Amino acid sequence: MGRTSRKRRSSLTTRMTVASAALLLGGGGLVAVNVYASAQEEPGQDAGSETQQRSQQGSLQQARQVATIDCPDVGNALPEVPDGARAQVDTELAALDSQITAAYQRLASNRDAAARDPGFVQNSILGPLKDKRGAVLGRIGEDIRRSGGLPPRRLDGMAACTGRSPEQPQQPSPQPSQDPSQQPSQQPSQQPSAPSGDGDGSGGATGNGPDPADFVDIESVQPNVVTPRNRRAASRGTFTTACGRNENGKFNPDNVIVAPGVGNGAHHMHDYVGNQATDAFSSDDDLAGGQTSCRNQGDKSTYYWPVLRLQNGKDEADAGADGGGKDQNTGEIQTPSSVTLKFDGNPTSKVVAMPRFLRIITGDAKALTNGDANANASWSCTGFENRQLKDKYPICPSGSKVVRTFRFQSCWDGANADSANHRTHVAFEDPRTGACPGGFKAIPQLVQRIVYSVPPGPGFAVDSFPEQLHKPITDHGDFINVFDARLMQRVAGCINRGDRCT
């Protein structure tokens, strides 16, 4: 894929005007449907009765209230799937994501029809979506049974989706029970969540996000980072691997962890550093034999995250491609100004080496509709990193840069390199003590710090699934360990000795 210039070519005033205009077009550079026009009389037409006007306004209000589509997350509800069914189930889960994407795009392109007909969203979008999801859920259940497993009882009840209003709070989808110690040591932002759109074209109800309300001045946020203190047996060292900033522009909208073998399984574009062979179809052997952008050639690991784009009305080379414009991710992709990949120790114990091909996902790409149970977004600005935002983008002062930080799960079950829902084989440390939950072993904790030079103000967003409206809480990171065994042992040794290694 070609890359557009990353240089800022206009004055700050012009840039801010363009960015604001982009937000008014739905954040992602999409032209928002003017639903107000559908409630007005045609030129030369009599305005009609007051009753008719009230009816039109009522229909308009209902249409404005459906900002996005909220579907139960089936993947999170499948902590156990027989090995013989995993490939088929992963493919079916990707089909569910594609169905939601298509339904959301139908919603976004039919705001005027929804304004005229109060039953349009239910009858033309949500009803057919439920039928399609029901068929896929039936196949998932059959795949699991055929391989000797037992699908969750609630699986059949996860077909129905709802229309989410801008004001409606996040409602967690059915989730497997989790130990509190698996949650990130992450404090929520100090600002209350704001509605995700007000129907004026700024995102949410009539656009694709983000909203101006999704941004907050970092200087208005109180320090909120809490770090467990090191105990006597702590592993205090670090290992840093230098893998570049994706200067060579390796992008794709795949997700080999969640949707292996499915092109455009993410419906948003990812930045990649490290392993250069990574796409939806990469096997472990492909990754082991791939080239790497890492300075230490013994690190062929895959590190990836959603790209960040300037919402400036300018097209990227993927404007007509899957994961880009076709999935309502538009604007100029920004190359980070720096990327730091560091492995830390544990506050209470020594660490063990990661198993090769261990897969870890941190954060939740669907946190807008799933709720924040698995969210692990962390936004800040250089010079203010004791203030971390979970559900807001930061507005940084002059001279400060935007920072995304991902602290990955650092406790491993000691047996599995992956799990059916890609979560239960790893866990977070206890946020108060730093200890791993019972039955889990401490491993080196990957900390990704990604820094961007972007114009100040609300003019950027991460790529997301279309129905997630580019919300900051959906930010997430992915990692596959492809260190050679000898180097991984060195990583663990450095950390356990308290050394600073590269």
Query: Is the per-residue pLDDT at 64 higher than 60?
Result: no
- pLDDT band of residue 115 (cuts 50, 70, 90) is confident
In this structure, is residue 25 part of a structural domain?
Answer: yes
pLDDT of residue 194: 35
Q: Which residues pair with 299 in a beta bridge?
A: 483
In this structure, is residue 384 part of a structural domain?
Answer: yes
Tally of domains in the chain: 1
When mean pLDDT is compared across 41-50, 55-64, 143-152, the lowest value belongs to 41-50
In this structure, is residue 14 part of a structural domain?
Answer: no
Query: What angle is formed at CA 367 by the lines to CA 363 and CA 370, rounded to 5 degrees?
Result: 125
Per-residue pLDDT tens digits for 190-210: 333 333 333 333 333 346 889
When mean pLDDT is compared across 173-182, 311-320, 373-382, the lowest value belongs to 173-182
In this structure, is residue 145 part of a structural domain?
Answer: yes
In this structure, is residue 9 part of a structural domain?
Answer: no
What domain range includes position 196?
Answer: 19-36+52-501
At 80, list the tokens.
Answer: 């156990």
In this structure, is residue 47 part of a structural domain?
Answer: no
pLDDT of residue 207: 66
3-state class (DSSP) for residue 406: strand
Mean pLDDT of 382-394: 98
Alpha carbons 295 and 127: distance in angstroms, whole number:
52
Per-residue pLDDT tens digits for 434-444: 999 999 999 99
In this structure, is residue 304 part of a structural domain?
Answer: yes
Do 473 and 378 meet the contact criterion of CB atoms below 8 Å apart? no
Query: Is the per-residue pLDDT at 80 higher than 60?
Result: yes
pLDDT above 70 as % of the chain: 79
- Tell me which H or E stretch contains 441: strand 441-442
Residue 346 vs residue 25, higher pLDDT = 346
Alpha carbons 126 and 132: distance in angstroms, whole number:
10
Do 425 and 412 meet the contact criterion of CB atoms below 8 Å apart? yes
In this structure, is residue 137 part of a structural domain?
Answer: yes
Alpha carbons 440 and 44: distance in angstroms, whole number:
73
pLDDT of residue 169: 53
